[in-house]
């Protein structure tokens, strides 16, 4: 919900750090490091190590902010970097609730909550990528609604990156409440799905 507003804040926070990053380290190296660190967070959540899983998760979030800031600082932003960044985020986001549930020896009811959350992620990502594909197709044809579709694609929803990061942090800090966190996040994502579906439906008419 606040990702667009926070983008400039992140750049102001991480921009000054870019000058200390050696030239031999590229934004893609930082993206890869963020992915590895995110997997380590999942691994330690699976092992019920709250402190280590939380520490690696926070480091993952910091590196995730740094790679984009570094790419913009060096004017080397690329489609490949954006793709790998999203791929790493989606994989870590999907694995974290599962890893926490395994670490907590979750009950069947807890697994139901995690399953609904994962399904909500799946549907939400489908909407985002379908809109992106249609926007590109219409822009390529010079369609009159290309600009509107791009606008819809960027429209905020109730839960985005920042809100997801906060809830995942709470999941890792208080893993015994994984069932409650999963239901909460699933509900928020579903509301976002409804919001985006309404916007997309209006744009595609």
* Residue-level pLDDT at 152: 45
8 Å CB contact between 152 and 79: no
Q: Lowest-confidence range among 17-21, 57-61, 120-124? A: 17-21
- Phi/psi for 76 (5° steps) reads -125, 25
Please check the confidence at residue 149 and state whether its pLDDT lies above 70. no
Q: Token pair of 177, please?
A: 């409440």
E strand segments, the chain: none
With a CB cutoff of 8 Å and minimum separation 6, the contacts of 19 are 73
Q: Token pair of 92, please?
A: 């870590």
8 Å CB contact between 100 and 169: no
- Residue 38 vs residues 19, 42, 56, 59, 104: alpha-carbon distances, Å: 24, 6, 6, 8, 19
- Residue 174 vs residues 32, 54, 179: alpha-carbon distances, Å: 27, 10, 11
* Residue-level pLDDT at 158: 63
Rounded to whole angstroms, how far apart are CA atoms 19 and 12? 13
- What is this structure's pTM? 0.84
Q: Where are the domains of the chain?
A: 3-204
Instruction: Name the more confident of 189 and 200.
Output: 189
Q: Token pair of 205, please?
A: 């008419």
Q: Is 143 helix (H, G, I), strand (E, B) or coil?
A: coil
* Residue-level pLDDT at 88: 92
At 24-78, the pLDDT tens digits run 999 999 999 999 999 999 999 999 999 999 999 999 999 998 888 888 888 888 8
Q: Which superfamily does CATH assign the domain made up of 3-204 to? A: CDP-alcohol phosphotransferase transmembrane (TM) domain (1.20.120.1760)
Q: Give the model's confidence band at 148: pLDDT under 50 very low, under 70 low, under 90 confident, else very high.
A: very low
Rounded to whole angstroms, how far apart are CA atoms 59 and 39? 11
Closest CA to 84 of 147, 17, 32: 32
8 Å CB contact between 59 and 37: yes
Closest CA to 182 of 121, 123, 128: 121
Q: Token pair of 160, please?
A: 């985005």
Q: Give the model's confidence band at 7: pLDDT under 50 very low, under 70 low, under 90 confident, else very high.
A: low
Which stretch, 9-18, 40-49, 191-200, has highest mean pLDDT?
Answer: 40-49
Closest CA to 121 of 157, 83, 78, 85: 157
* Residue-level pLDDT at 65: 86
């Amino acid at each position: 919900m606040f990702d667009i507003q926070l983008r400039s804040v992140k750049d102001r926070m991480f921009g000054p750090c870019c000058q200390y990053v050696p030239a031999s380290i590229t934004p893609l190296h930082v993206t890869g490091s963020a992915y590895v660190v995110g997997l380590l967070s999942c691994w330690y959540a699976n092992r019920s190590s709250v402190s280590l899983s939380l520490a690696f998760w926070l480091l993952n979030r910091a590196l995730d902010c740094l790679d984009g800031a570094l790419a913009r600082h060096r004017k080397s932003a690329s489609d490949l970097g954006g793709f790998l960044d999203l791929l790493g985020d989606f994989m870590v986001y999907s694995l974290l609730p599962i890893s926490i549930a395994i670490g907590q020896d979750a009950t069947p009811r807890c697994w139901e909550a995690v399953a609904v959350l994962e399904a909500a992620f799946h549907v939400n990502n489908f909407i985002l990528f379908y809109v992106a594909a249609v926007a590109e197709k219409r822009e390529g044809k010079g369609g009159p609604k290309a600009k509107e579709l791009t606008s819809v694609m960027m429209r905020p929803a109730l839960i985005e990156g920042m809100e997801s990061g906060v809830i995942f942090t709470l999941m890792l800090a208080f893993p015994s409440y994984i069932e409650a966190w999963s239901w909460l996040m699933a509900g928020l994502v579903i509301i976002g799905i409804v919001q985006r579906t309404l916007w997309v439906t209006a744009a595609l008419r």
